[in-house]
Amino acid sequence: MKHILKCPKCSKYTMGNECTVCKVPAIDLKPPKYSPEDKYGKYRREVKEESRKEKDLI
C-alpha cells in the first residue's frame, strides 16, 4: 500500500516518489524527531492539561 509523501521544497503532498512540480524526491511524512513514544505521549498529556486549564478559566 502506498502512502503519502511530502515535498520538502513546496510542502505539497504527493503519492509519487518525487514532487511533480519541483522534481525533487518527496520525503516520508513520518516524524523523524519524535520517535520515542513516551516523549510524545508526555507532550500530548501536557497539551491536554493545558486545554483543561483554559476551560477552567472560562
- Cβ-based nearer residue to Zn ion, 5 or 19: 19
Distance between CA atoms of residues 23 and 53, nearest Å: 46
Work out whether 19 is an interface residue with Zn ion (CB under 5 A): yes
Distance between CA atoms of residues 30 and 13, nearest Å: 13
- Binding segment (CB under 5 A) for Zn ion, from list 12-20, 33-41, 45-53: 12-20
List 4, 10, 15, 47, residue binding Zn ion (CB under 5 A): 10
Total of chain residues touching Zn ion, rule CB under 5 A: 6
The percent helix, strand, coil of the chain (3-state, each to 5) is 35, 15, 50
